[in-house]
Amino acid sequence: MAENTGFIAWLVETLKTVFWALLIAGIFRTLFFQPFWIPSGSMKDTLLIGDFLFVNKMAYGYSYASCPSIRIPQVGIDLGADDFCGFAEDSNDRLFGSDPERGDIVVFRHPVDGRDFIKRLIGLPGDRIQMVDSLLYINDVPVQVETAGTFTEIMEPQGPLGIRPQCENGAVGFGAECTKSRFTETLPNGVSHSILNIGNRPSDNTGVFTVPEGQFFFMGDNRDNSTDSRFAQAARGVGFVERKDIVGRADRVMFSSSGSSMFAFWTWRSDRYFKALD
């Protein structure tokens, strides 16, 4: 009897410890920082597949999108921020909030499927955005672009999804060099960052996008390999992103794995520890 009592007491204490640990972790993730692992190449070469970072949720204040998402497809768990904080989803205001600045690297909740996306903020409310022959125009003025060499990577499966890079130098075999032209783009507020070019794509020439009030326009730095605000939500794109869907700002890569798992420490890239993001 005493053994059973002791086991029950141990089990209760263990469950209490797990409960409080999960509660503290949930509060930390909701209010301060959210872990994010880069799954695709849409932000190369600023962000690489396998980069692990923490998203600063304090940067822009809080909305329903600040609540955590828990997705574990292996066991059928798919809970989004709207499942936890759907009561606040209709409000476009942010608690203790401020709007992101042009050039910020922002994590936001996809307006349709609720997945977390990471892109660079290009267009603010009221801006006119257009691509003409691969050149970005903001309010009818072309941004400054300078050549910055070549981005080179090896043609091989990348990350847990085994994504193969797209190459400007044509179809190359496994193990060969895959190259893209690199440019430095400077936005009107002076923020400079790298962009990549793969080739002529329909998204290199667009109509004019006029950003509505309370919404934002995002693009990936890997311009020819990014599903972003240039593509309408009806076409599985991002479209304009409302203020309420913003999660936070990405400031720094903590570490980066070139393998299929972030836990494979022997594949971590030595040059990306605590790397600041431009």
Distance, CA of 163 to CA of 37 (rounded, Å): 15
Give the C-alpha distances (Å, rounded to integers) separating 123 from 128, 136, 181, 240: 7, 11, 24, 9
CB neighbours of 188 closer than 8 A, spacing ≥ 6? 102, 138, 139, 141, 143
- Say which of 119, 180, 244, 275 is annotated catalytic: 119
Q: Phi first, then psi: what are they for 234, rounded to 5°?
A: -65, -25
Is the Cα torsion angle 72, 108, 46, 129 positive or negative in sign? Answer: positive
Report the SS3 class of residue 242: strand
- Cα 100 to chain centroid distance, Å, stands at 14
CB neighbours of 38 closer than 8 A, spacing ≥ 6? 47, 48, 49, 50, 51, 52, 53, 118
CB neighbours of 238 closer than 8 A, spacing ≥ 6? 110, 111, 117, 119, 218, 227, 228, 229, 231
Is the Cα torsion angle 15, 17, 18, 23 positive or negative in sign? Answer: positive
Distance, CA of 276 to CA of 278 (rounded, Å): 7
42 assigned to active site: yes
272 neighbors 79 (Cβ within 8 angstroms): no
258 assigned to active site: no
- Say which of 42, 63, 194, 256 is annotated catalytic: 42
Supply the residues annotated as catalytic: 42, 119
